[in-house]
């Protein structure tokens, strides 16, 4: 445990940067006019 910094979640954003998206996951309208959601909320269908 470090003195000044605690890791809450190690980032994984770049881990898939080389692959083309398979687009099997749910579509996510982000507008408030539907139930908007952030992509951060999405589940990958391909793991």
Partner 1 sequence: MHVFKFGGKTLALDPITGTLLEVDDLAGEVLKLWHHLTPAEITAALSDRYSVCDLTEALSEVEELAAAGLLDAIMPPEPVPTDASVGQIKALCLHVAHDCNLRCRYCFAGTGDFGYERTIMDTATGRAAIDFLLRSSGPRRNLEVDFFGGEPLLNFPVVRDIVAYGEEQAAKLGKVIRFTLTTNATLLNDAVIEFLNDKQMAVVLSLDGREAVNDRMRPLADGAGSYSAVSQAVREFVERRSGKNYYVRGTYTAHNLDFATDVMHLYNLGLRELSIEPVVGGAGESYTLTQDHLAALCREYERLADFYLAKRDEGDPFNFFHFNMATYGGPCFGKRVSGCGAGCDYLAVTPAGDLYPCHQFVGQQEFAMGTVFAGVTAPSLVNEFSRANLYRKPECLRCFAKFFCSGGCHAHAYHSNGTILQPDALHCELQKKRIEIALGISAFRSVQ
Q: Indicate whether 1 belongs to the interface with partner 1 (CB under 8 A).
A: no
Q: In the range 15-34, which residues lie near ligand SF4 by CB under 6 A?
A: 29-31, 33
Distances from the Cα of 11 to the Cα of 14, 18, 27, 31, 40, angstroms: 8, 16, 23, 26, 12
**Location of structure tokens 């139930």:** 35
* Residue 3 Ramachandran class (φ > 0 left, ψ -120 to 50 alpha, else beta): alpha
38 is a site residue for ligand SF4 (CB under 6 A): no
**By rule CB under 8 A, what string of x and - marks binding of each residue 8-47 to partner 1?**
xxxxxxxxxxxxxxxxxxxxxxxxxxxxxxxxxxxxxxx-
Is residue 41 within the footprint of ligand SF4 (CB under 6 A)? no
Contact footprint for ligand SF4 (CB under 6 A): 29-31, 33
């Amino acid at each position: 445990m470090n003195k000044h910094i605690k890791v809450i979640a190690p980032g994984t954003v770049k881990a898939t940067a080389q692959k083309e998206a398979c687009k099997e996951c749910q579509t996510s309208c982000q507008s408030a006019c539907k139930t908007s959601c952030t992509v951060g909320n999405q589940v990958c269908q391909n793991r």
